[in-house]
Structures are given as C-alpha cells and as structure tokens.
Structure 1
Amino acid sequence: MDESQAELVQDHPIVSSGSTPSASNGGTQQTPEELVARAIAPVKREFLRPPPVRPSSSSSTTNKDDAVTDAKDKPAQSALDKEKKSKRQLKRERRQQQKSALSICPEVARTGDVSTCPYNDKCRFSHDVEAFMALKADDLEGKCPFISDDEPCPYGLACRFSKTHRSGVSVGNANTRRKGSEVNGLSKDVQKLLWKNKMKFPKADAKLKALGLLGPANSKSKNLVDKEVDQLDSNDCHVNNENGCVDLTNDIDVKGDISAKIEEEDAVNETSANDEHPPPLKKPKCATEKCCPGRAEDESVGEKVVSDSSIEPEIQVAADTIHPETERSLKLHPRERKIIDFREKLYLAPLTTVGNLPFRRVCKFLGADVTCGEMAMCTNLLQGQASEWALLRRHSSEDLFGVQICGAYADTVTRAVELVDQECVVDFIDINMGCPIDIVVNKGAGSALLTKPMRMKGIIEAASGTTDKHLTVKVRTAYFEGKNRVHSLIADIGGWGASAVTIHGRSRQQRYSKLADWEYIYECARKAPDALQVLGNGDIFSYLDWNKHKADCPELSSCMIARGALVKPWIFTEIKEQRHWDISSGERLNILMDFARFGLEHWGSDTKGVETTRRFLLEWLSYTCRYIPVGLLDVIPQRLNWRPPSYFGRDDLETLMASDSAADWIRISEMLLGKVPDGFTFAPKHKSNAYDRAENG
C-alpha cells in the first residue's frame, strides 16, 4: 500500500469512525443499512483495505515538526507551479516549437517528399525529415487506425503506428478520411464570412422582426444602423423579382425594431446586452449584381445568406425556392414538423468535456438510442470559432442526434439556430436553459433564464419559428433552492414552440448536492400539455431507477442519463437487458480500448492526436473510478451519492481502476496509448466535493 492510498483509508469515514472494525480498536461492524444511511458504499468486508498503523506517541512530535517544515515549503512550490504565463510568452513558446524539427510540415509528413509542400522555403514548419525521425517518439503497439485496403494513412511519417504501414508513405488526407464517417464540419468560406460579420440571417431576422426582438440594444449601434438606412435610401436598389433582386429594407424595419429592442433590453440588463449582442446589421445586398452595378466591387468579401451556404443538396434546393420576404408566411405548423418520439428511448445527456464524439460512439455501441453534442455557446458559433464548431460534429453511427446550444438573448440564439440548421445535419436542436456554471449564468444564459420567463418566451418562439427541426429545451427546477417555478411555465413552454422539455430535478443553487427531486418532475409531467414531451433527469444509475421513474409517472416520455453514463457507460446495456451487469475488469479495459481507438480516428494518430486522446481519456477515468463492481457490494445496486471506501478489487486491474489517484489513471492510459511525455501532469477539469483527490501520485 503506497502513502497516498494509506492517507485515503485513514481519512475515510469507515476507517476513522469509532465504530469501524479493526484488530487494533476492537470496534463493532456497521451494518450495510447503517452505511447506506450515511451514503457510504457497503463494500463487503473481505475487500476492504485494513486501516493504516497509526504512529506511536514517541514519534508524533518528530512527525509534526516534519509536517510543519513541509507545509512551509509547499506554498512556494505551488505558487511556482501555478504561475501563469503571459500571452507573449506563450506565443514565443509556440513559435519556438514550430521551429523545432518535431513540427514537421503536414504535407511533407504525408508524402515523405519535401518538394510537395506548396510554401517551400516560406513554410513555417520544418522540412527536415531525418531530424524529425531522430526525435520522433517511439511507435505505439497495435495497428494504425487509418490503414485500409483502399487508402493510406493521412499522417504518414508523423503517425505513431508508421511501422504498420504496408508500402511506404503515400498521399492521404485526414479531412477526406474523416468525411466518410463524420459530418457537421465548418467550411472555410462560411468561417471567413462569420469572422468578417458578412453572414446574413434572413429567416432569423424576419422572425425576430415579427416578434419585435430584432436589433442591438445600445445607442451606438442604433446610430450606426440609422446611418446605414439613410445611405440605402439614396441607393437605386429596388424590388425586382424578375431579376432576382430583393430590397430587404422593405421587409425589415430596422429603425423601429431597434427602438423596441432598446426599450426592452434597457429594462432587463443594459450591460449584459453590450457583451452578448452581435455587431449591428450590415447593409442589405442585392441577390443579383446586375441590378446595382458597382456595389459588389466595393465589398472585399461578399455578404452571404445562411440559407445559401448549406452543405446538404436537399437543404440548398429548399433555400433556393423560398425568398426571405415570404419566410414568415411559410412557417410550418407544429403538426407538420418532423416529430421525434422520445418514449422508451435511452437518451445520453450532453456532457461537457467528456461527452465528446468518441465517448458517444462507445455509448452507442453499448445501447444508447439518442445522443446529443456538448453544449456550444451561440456567440462563439456566430464568431466562427473552430473549437466551438467541433462540438457539433456527428458520427455516422449516431442515427438520432441533436446539438445543444446556449445563449442569453433571442437574436443570438435564433441566428445560431438558423446557422446550425443550414450548415449541420441534425435531428433536433436543444436549447440549454439550465446550465449552472458561473461563467454562463453571469452572462444571462443557462439557468439564469429561469428568472426571466419573458426572455425564455422570446428565445423559444423565435428559435422554433426559424427552423423546422425538432426544438427541445433543458431546464432545472428553479434558480433558487425551494422556489420551484417550472410547473408554472410547463404549459407555456409547449405553447411557445418547444416539442420536448428535459427537467433536471435540481435547482441551480443546489448544483449537484442532494438527490434529484423526482416528485417535482412527475408534477410537471402531469401538468404538461399532450403535445409536449417531458423527460426527467437526475441520479439514474441502474435499470431499477429507470423502471421506477417510468412506472411512477406514465406521463413521463423518457429519462435522460448523464453522470450514470460517465461512471458506467454500460448502463444502457443493463436497462435494455434488465439486469445488473457484474462487468469484469477485462471487459472494462476493452471499453477503454474502444474509446482510445475512436479517439485516434477522431483526433488523429500523430503525437498531437495521441495526447489529445489521452487527455480526454483521463477526464473520463476521473469518473469511472467511482464505479464499484456489483460482486463487491453487500447491497445492490450502487447509488450515485455513495462514497466508496478504500478497497481491493478481485484482481490487480480492478484494484487499479478503483483508485482515485491521477497517477493510476495515467498508468491505465499508458496501457492503451504508450508512455506519457516527460513532465506530463494531469488534473481533471470537473472536481466533486466527494472525489477531490487528483494528485499525480
């Protein structure tokens, strides 16, 4: 037993309490029922670790002196470790890294030929193949995930499985290889338009105008738009349907809508509006340049209508046949939309950081029916941030897939909905109105919207009127503990245009402490209109939990599974097969191997892709360590709020998987992805009060 594990046993309630059995204190054994009442996992006695030998009184003084000395040294060391680097220093380090031989040009790595780089001497990457091969890390065991009979590996020399390549290095392309199995990538043309604020949103703006929600809410933006409108009045731009030129100023009364928006938003939150709203609307541009000669030449980058930028042929055809000025009259009736029936379907919740595409593939393989991407911020999507758009990617195995977006205002959310609707292939769009994270709530988004029902109404009405996709909403019971309010909004949410609502049985103030309030979820489900599907969320960790909630409230359409899937993704198999799966350590390792393979296919098989996969694997392992095998428990099934004692597994691998030390998680990652780089450290992004040990040893 190492020192960190001994500390864990000593500090754990089972060992430190007076009633804990041990040979030294002669205490009495607590019954499993007593342990469960204290939210302590009732692990069988033969698997519990023995308590550590406490130091004698003669050496206690010396140990205290040593502890004081160590405490004096730790702050200085921790301050040094946590020293933040400036942006200039980080930029300098990136440039130095690019000059290194390890930063080989991707084109040269693919082909092995220096002459294939289109930039030649101006390339910012290294072209020294021999130096790269001398410094490259050792290849990993196993087979390259990109090798097939038809196409070569797109990473070539940089691949960490290059020895398994059959016939040297030939040309391949990572984007082409990924295109066959993954969709919803952001094109460079659309990204440039978003960067320059040249993208136009006719559907969203028309709907926002109809609801009186269009336009920024500050005087500076108002003056800019007024100036643009005055300039447009002098231009010879008019309606000419025969030539395809549309005067958008006849359809959108910019001045009136901005005035209404100013009055509304100033009463809500003037400072937040300045942060959340996009820049003022650009000048409308004719669809045909012949109608207004000379205007196109004045634009360095032409404006683009969202409906013309679709990557799907069928969406392009629909966009070409619908003019912006008639979009409002062609709004689909709710009964004409594609309705998704969530009843009896196993829904994997959108999970920040861990709910990535490889993890969702694992859950699909284990029985999940519905998957949803990680929460994406609307403002970041509208700015064309590649990292945010990566959260919307979809694998071909996800047959029922949705994306989750989050925003504070109707205009940003509605424009993001139109953009996602046209650029992505999704089955439904979920609006997060329950996120408890401070950085989200402080901007007026997430669960902060629960305190502003009129803003909720504007967002849902505008978003549902902009897309014919299935629109869902995720909420918490309330913002403040003890002041539930979803029951008073449930009927309105359906009337505003949402097709389904997921209720997390906790308030924002409660976060994840205490158990979810399922009785309140049942109350809301019974009050919901028939057309609105209600899903419950919170503390589902076994098929018995699933069965109970479905039996207690037939009005509940389904249940969303979140943390339960993080700890044991095979919960979907257990629900479908109606059994407690006493999964072995070898079977759990196979699941981790699948994740590693999916991660290499998604992030790449070069060093960068391997380390990205490792990081996300370690984040996931920080949750899986909380699982206690069925065969080790006196009472089954395990509950999410149980704190596990320090225990031995039935074999060494099971013991290793039960460790809450990041050093042991790193050891598991090395079994799958090879040795970590020198100086590698890890601390999980999400920390729980009950599981706060994440030191590297």
Structure 2
Amino acid sequence: MDESSSEVEAKVLEDVSLPNTEVEEKVSGDTSLSNTEEIHLKPEELIAKAIAPVKREHLRPRPVRFSSNGATDRRVSENKSISSNVVTEKKSKRQFKRERQQEQKSPQHLCPVVAKSGTVSSCQYADKCRFSHDLEAFKAQKPADLEGNCPFASLEKPCPYGLACRFSGTHKDGAPAENLGAQKMSSEMNGLSKDVQKLLWKNKMSFLRADAQLKCLGLSSLGNSKSKNIENKDGSDQDVLNGSIACHESNNKEVDSDKAMDCTPVALPERGVDVEIDDVRPQKKAKCPIDENCCFSEVDNGSTLQRNDLEESSVQTEAETKPSDDCLTETDMSLKSHPREKKLIDFRGKLYLAPLTTVGNLPFRRVCKVLGADITCGEMAMCTNLLQGQASEWALLRRHSSEDLFGVQICGAYPDTIARTVDLINHECTVDFIDINMGCPIDIVVNKGAGSSLLTKPMRMKSIIQAASGTVDTPLTVKVRTGYFEGRNRIDSLISDIGQWGATAVTIHGRSRQQRYSKLADWDYIYQCARKAPDALQVLGNGDVCSYLDWNKHKSDSPRLSTCMIARGALIKPWIFTEIKEQRHWDISSGERLNILKDFVHFGLEHWGSDNKGVETTRHFLLEWLSYTHRYIPVGLLDVIPQKLNWRPPSYFGRDDLETLMASESAADWIRISEILLGKVPAGFAFAPKHKSNAYDSAENG
C-alpha cells in the first residue's frame, strides 16, 4: 500500500479539487462580504473569539448557503452538494440484525474453514454449516484485491483468512493450511476463553474473593443474587473459582457454608424503587463493622475460604455481632491499611494516553505507542456487560504486546458489580492497573447510576473503591470530574478520602459533568486538589493538553501533579507525544500524516482481519478518527503557535492538495481519504460519526 497507492492517491486528490473550485467560483462574490470580519481581524482578536489565526494567504472563502426565508447561513461546507455516502441517522439494531441475516445467506459470507483451506470438504459441518460453501459464487462476487501486501505476510504461517483475504493475490502458493487460526492474534492478549464465557452466560461463575471482601465490608448481596447462583442440576458443568476449576459439588458445600457465615445485615432495595437483583444497593450504615480477623480469614493472600474458618464463623453468637465499644468506627476502618501490600505504578512524568471511547481502540493505541506514548488504557467497558460474557465488551480489554504499561477502564454503579468485575479481570487478563470511571458524562451511563452520577454519592464511591481495592492486588485508579454541577466542585473535599479508601492514583478531568466538553478545563482547581492529596495518592490532570507547552506549564505550575493525561489532543494530533518528548513544535507534512494513517490501517487489518469484513471495520474506525484529525492546523499556517484545543479552524488552503483534503470537515472527503488507503467503498456505503463534533454538524449534514 506504499508505492502502489501513489497513483490511487493522485487520482483521488484530482477528483477532490474540482468540486471545491466550482463552489468557490459560484459563491465568491457573496462570500467575500460574509468573511470580511474574519479576514481583517488581527491574530489576537481572532484568538479572543476562539478562531484559529491562520495566515491570510491560506484562507479560503466560505460558501454561503441560503435558508428558505432568504437569510444567509454561514456554516462551513467543503462541498455544496450533499453526498449520498453521508447519513443523518444511524441504523437501528433491527436493521443491523436484518442485514446480518441476509449477509449470512449470501455467497459473500463464505465459511471461514473453506476460505482457509480452499476445499469445500474441509468443513466438518458440511451442509449443516450456517455459512456458504459456494466457492465459485464467492470468487465471482469478491471485490478486487487491494494494493499492497497481506498484513500477515511477515508471519511464518499462512494468512488466517485464505481466499477471503483482500490481498490473496500476494499469498505464496503451496503454503501449509494447518493451524491457520492460531497466529491471528499472536501478538495480542486478554482474550475471553469459551469455557469462561459459557459460565458467565449461565451465571455459574463464582467470585469467592470478591464476595468475601463484600461480606467483610457489610456489602453482601441478596442470597438469591444471579451472580451467586451457581446451582447445577445435572452436575455436569464445572465452575471457575478465582481462576481454578473445581467440581460443582464442592462449590455447593462452600457456598452453603458461606451463607451460614453471613452474619451481617443485608441492605434491601427501598420500596417503590426498581433495582435488578445483581445490582443490590449497599447498606448505608452498618451496625458494626466486621473485625480484622474476619477480613484476614476470608481474603488473606487471595486464598479461598477454609473449612475451619467457615465452621467457626457459622457458630458466632448474637453477642459477637452486636455493637460494642471495641468495634472500630467507620473512620477508623477507612484509615486502616489493607492487609495485603499493593503493587505500585509510578505515573510521574510519563505520557498517558487517555481511555477514549470508540477511537481509543487497539490499532490507535499502537500508533500512539510508536509516536511516544508511555501509558495506554483500553476503552471504557461496562461491568454488567463483562459479567454477562459479551464478546464485544471483552474486546475492549484486549492488549497488544507493545503496550508495556497498560490498564483497563471499567464503569459500574454498585460495589458488588465492580468487585466481581475486577476479580474476573484479575484472573482472566494481564493488566498493570484497573481504572474505575466515575466521571463519564454520557446520559445512558449516568441514568444507570454510574459514571458522573457517583460524584453525587460519596458513600457509594467509598464502597466501590474499598470493595474493588480489597479484592485484587492490582493497582486501582479512579477517574473523576470536578463535580456534577457547574460551579459546585466537590472533589477537593474527597481527595484525601479517595487515597484512604484504596486508590493509588486519581485522574481529575477539569470540567463538571454539566459542562461535558465545553469551556476550558479548570486547571487551577486541579492544582488545588493536588495540593490537598495525601503523599501516597498520585494526582493526574486531564483537559486541553494540545502541545508540549501546555504539558510543561501544568507540570511546572503544580509540582505535586504526577502527570497529565492526554485525550482529545492525541485524537487531533497523535504525534503530540513526540513533540513533548522532543520539546518542539512538529510542522508535520501531509505525507508524514498519511504515513501515520497507513500505520493505523496496517494495525487495523492485523486486528480486525484482512477479509472484506475486516477491511470495512478498519475503514469505519479510520473514518471515526478522521472526524477528529481534520481539526489539526499545520504549524506553518498559523500566525500564533501552538494551536489551542478550543480554537475553531477557519476554512483554509493547505500547502498541497493532500493537506487541503485533510483539512476538510466534509465526511465525503474523509471517505475519499479512506479510499486512498483501503480502496473504493462498497456500493451503498454510508457513514455517520458516532461522536459528532461541532465542526461535523456544520458540514454536509446541515
């Protein structure tokens, strides 16, 4: 895709430049008047209006669109005509399901086993297989091969997609066909095994370590909780107990003893409130905390409950469970150190790529690692979906071997759900830390009581952090916002408690939930929180870091700040990590930017596959990323550097056609860039970004 794609690139750029020129000629007379203000303002005046000060010789006139009443609409549009490739609404789940069913019945959906071997007889299911076995029909409708080499060519074994690979013409003839699927994810880890997934589907997974910690804290769930129901009527299944397989008969005995041991009151849902059984609310105030010996007997060194301990606990007298003067107060319990030592991660001075929904996928993180990122974190995964064994949610936890310091981010509403999730992750995944998202502002998350909703419930925050940190030895970090409502910050009053509850680090996004991503981040408040934090708690800042000068300023203004998390700045210019390490403004060329996109495509084909489905999945996530990268303004075109994250880029000409194309905020032009790298889009292709930015809203969708 390197040398051979140059002709395709030139053709696409030639096709792109013509419509824009025609639009400019048609509206140039009216546009000069509408853009007079921006063109003649001084750079400092433009900055005051949050408009990027692009050099005048590179500014281009904006087309003026007229509404029905004759008034002008000055919103920017690179192309005047609305492209058929851009959709205004997303498809429903029913539409996607119907399309998948139709696709399975078509010859295009060739059986993977047949595709790998090239022979119909290789599939063990024969006529009962739900995939197509019609090789000739598949070859007749298969799209033309893409330019370049197969992404799996460097492996010693053959391509795992065989005839279905979009680079099958470059495959070596006579390659052996055995063990073809083994090397597909050879450099990736944290996959969910089928055995564990089946146990999660059947609600037969046991979480002794998590449940023991919940019991110790007085946060036990109802006895008939789905996540604790491990009854097996036929006795044929086996359960996983903290990573080890044990026969079901012994599990029933342990659970029965475990129930006999539960001497703490259970918090029942309030009357009139609909609550799922497995999301039981923690009790607000325990009559008496469990003593230190109970904690040691249940969770010491992660061992399972012993028979003697269970018997001793089951014969506790009523007097032992009543409050006494010797019981530790709630404050003392929070100050008491945990029996097991926590592993520590030093975040100080390291470049931390934030967990980014949709765009922060594994191929994008690999690109950032190449460009200098030190710490990476997976996309936010919902605890309830992980505990249900959803493959799509577990895919968010996958890790590449190049990610040497990697964490996963989870989100949940209740301590029992989160404790069992971290217990499961601890045994099924290889991670360096686990981050709990308590700052997500998305409505669907907040309405379930998770994310930013927890900022209004400090006691729930305490229960979650204590339950999770006491369940695993893996370092636990927390991500929060300044508060829920604008002007009512509250993290400064909780910062010392967060460290005592068991978190090793906290990331503070300098905006409230109500602000979402509008207005500038309040770094003065982040500094204030860092000063109040205990020495054992590392504080990380997050918000509006878009250059190495931003990074240096925040680090110098607050020596107590461990590091800065980089989020949207990395989406717009992933080479920000290189700039920070080399302490320079990189005036990156359009060709260098295209090479970064090529790396992403290569990593994407390795991750999602080189067949037609993998190519289109890679294209989809490339387009999602391009919906951010077009906001980058080259250093050489600015009157004032560096670019700030809140600057709105005006319409401008780049220094070459490719740079101009990359600056377009038209989704149709993003699709053209994808065609440079992945060939023509299929018939009926449509794209709408999952995260519509303000710039996108002003583009072709009106």
TM-score by length of 1: 0.81
**Structure 1 residues 556 and 153: CA distance shift in structure 2, 3 A:** same
Paired residues for 1:251-330 under 5 Å: 251-253=258-260, 257=264, 259-262=265-268, 265-266=269-270, 270-273=273-276, 276=279, 322-323=304-305
Partner of 2:75: none
Q: Is the 8 Å Cα contact of residues 112 and 169 (structure 1) preserved in structure 2?
A: no
Residues 1:187 and 2:187 are matched in the alignment: no
Partner of 2:529: 524
1:619 corresponds, among 596, 621, 624, to 624
CA distance in 2, matches of 1:12, 1:395: 53
The letter of the residue matching 1:50 is: P
How far did 1:691 drift? 4.0
Paired residues for 1:25-104 under 5 Å: 29-50=40-61, 87=94, 91-104=97-110
The letter of the residue matching 2:479 is: K
How far did 1:147 drift? 1.7
Partner of 1:249: 256
Paired residues for 1:485-634 under 5 Å: 485-634=490-639
The letter of the residue matching 1:383 is: Q
CA distance in 1, matches of 2:461, 2:537: 16
CA distance in 2, matches of 1:129, 1:120: 14
CA distance in 2, matches of 1:591, 1:9: 35
Q: Percent identity?
A: 70
CA distance in 2, matches of 1:178, 1:227: 34
CA distance in 2, matches of 1:606, 1:225: 41
CA distance in 2, matches of 1:407, 1:557: 26
Unaligned runs of 5+ in 2: 1-17, 72-80, 232-248, 282-300, 314-335
The letter of the residue matching 1:247 is: E
Q: Is the 8 Å Cα contact of residues 521 and 536 (structure 1) preserved in structure 2?
A: yes
How far did 1:681 drift? 1.3
Partner of 1:120: 126
**Structure 1 residues 589 and 212: CA distance shift in structure 2, 3 A:** same
Q: Is the 8 Å Cα contact of residues 381 and 416 (structure 1) preserved in structure 2?
A: yes
The letter of the residue matching 1:43 is: V
Partner of 1:288: none
Q: What is the aligned length?
A: 613
Secondary structure of 1:199's match? Answer: coil
1:129 corresponds, among 129, 132, 135, to 135
Most deviating of 537-546 and 8-17 = 8-17
Most deviating of 91-100 and 135-144 = 91-100
CA distance in 1, matches of 2:459, 2:355: 26
After superposition, what is the alpha-carbon deviation per residue over 1:7-55, rounded to whole angstroms, capped at 9, x for unaligned?
999999997365344xxxxxxx211000000000000000001355899
Q: Is the 8 Å Cα contact of residues 157 and 169 (structure 1) preserved in structure 2?
A: no
Partner of 2:464: 459
After superposition, what is the alpha-carbon deviation per residue over 1:324-350, rounded to whole angstroms, capped at 9, x for unaligned?
679999x99478322100000000000
CA distance in 2, matches of 1:11, 1:449: 55
Q: Is the 8 Å Cα contact of residues 683 and 694 (structure 1) preserved in structure 2?
A: no
**Structure 1 residues 225 and 619: CA distance shift in structure 2, 3 A:** closer
Residues 1:402 and 2:407 are matched in the alignment: yes
CA distance in 1, matches of 2:621, 2:199: 31
After superposition, what is the alpha-carbon deviation per residue over 1:621-676, rounded to whole angstroms, capped at 9, x for unaligned?
00000000000000000000000100000000000000000111011101111110
Q: Is the 8 Å Cα contact of residues 501 and 532 (structure 1) preserved in structure 2?
A: yes
**Structure 1 residues 650 and 174: CA distance shift in structure 2, 3 A:** farther
After superposition, what is the alpha-carbon deviation per residue over 1:207-243, rounded to whole angstroms, capped at 9, x for unaligned?
00111111149xxx58999999xxxxxxxxxxxxxx9
Q: Is the 8 Å Cα contact of residues 207 and 466 (structure 1) preserved in structure 2?
A: yes
How far did 1:434 drift? 0.2
The letter of the residue matching 1:639 is: K
CA distance in 1, matches of 2:679, 2:230: 61
How far did 1:177 drift? 1.2
Q: Is the 8 Å Cα contact of residues 684 and 694 (structure 1) preserved in structure 2?
A: no
Secondary structure of 2:617's match? Answer: helix
CA distance in 2, matches of 1:364, 1:83: 32
Secondary structure of 2:404's match? Answer: coil
2:37 corresponds, among 19, 27, 30, to 19
**Structure 1 residues 373 and 504: CA distance shift in structure 2, 3 A:** same
How far did 1:125 drift? 1.1
CA distance in 1, matches of 2:361, 2:309: 35
Paired residues for 1:423-502 under 5 Å: 423-502=428-507
How far did 1:247 drift? 3.1
**Structure 1 residues 122 and 324: CA distance shift in structure 2, 3 A:** farther
Residues 1:111 and 2:114 are matched in the alignment: no
CA distance in 2, matches of 1:452, 1:35: 42
CA distance in 1, matches of 2:30, 2:457: 43
Most deviating of 247-256 and 580-589 = 247-256
TM-score by length of 2: 0.81
CA distance in 2, matches of 1:155, 1:448: 45
Partner of 1:286: none
**Structure 1 residues 387 and 180: CA distance shift in structure 2, 3 A:** same
How far did 1:109 drift? 0.2
Q: Is the 8 Å Cα contact of residues 407 and 445 (structure 1) preserved in structure 2?
A: yes
CA distance in 2, matches of 1:558, 1:86: 41
Q: Give the aligned CA root-mean-square deviation in angstroms.
A: 3.6
How far did 1:390 drift? 0.1
After superposition, what is the alpha-carbon deviation per residue over 1:111-145, rounded to whole angstroms, capped at 9, x for unaligned?
00111101011111111111111110000000001
The letter of the residue matching 2:49 is: R
CA distance in 2, matches of 1:390, 1:15: 52
The letter of the residue matching 1:40 is: I
Partner of 1:392: 397
Partner of 1:211: 217
CA distance in 2, matches of 1:250, 1:275: 21
Partner of 1:238: none
CA distance in 2, matches of 1:5, 1:431: 49
CA distance in 1, matches of 2:635, 2:201: 52
Most deviating of 12-21 and 200-209 = 12-21
Q: Is the 8 Å Cα contact of residues 9 and 49 (structure 1) preserved in structure 2?
A: no
Q: Is the 8 Å Cα contact of residues 144 and 164 (structure 1) preserved in structure 2?
A: yes
CA distance in 2, matches of 1:8, 1:477: 49
After superposition, what is the alpha-carbon deviation per residue over 1:238-265, rounded to whole angstroms, capped at 9, x for unaligned?
xxxxx988634334458755x5221xx4
Partner of 1:293: none
Q: Tell me: higher relative CO, structure 1 or 2? Use CA pairs within 8 A at least 6 residues apart.
A: 2
Secondary structure of 1:104's match? Answer: coil
Partner of 2:285: none
1:692 corresponds, among 687, 693, 697, to 697
How far did 1:445 drift? 0.0
Residues 1:142 and 2:148 are matched in the alignment: yes
Q: Is the 8 Å Cα contact of residues 338 and 468 (structure 1) preserved in structure 2?
A: yes
Secondary structure of 2:697's match? Answer: coil
Partner of 1:237: none
Secondary structure of 1:579's match? Answer: coil
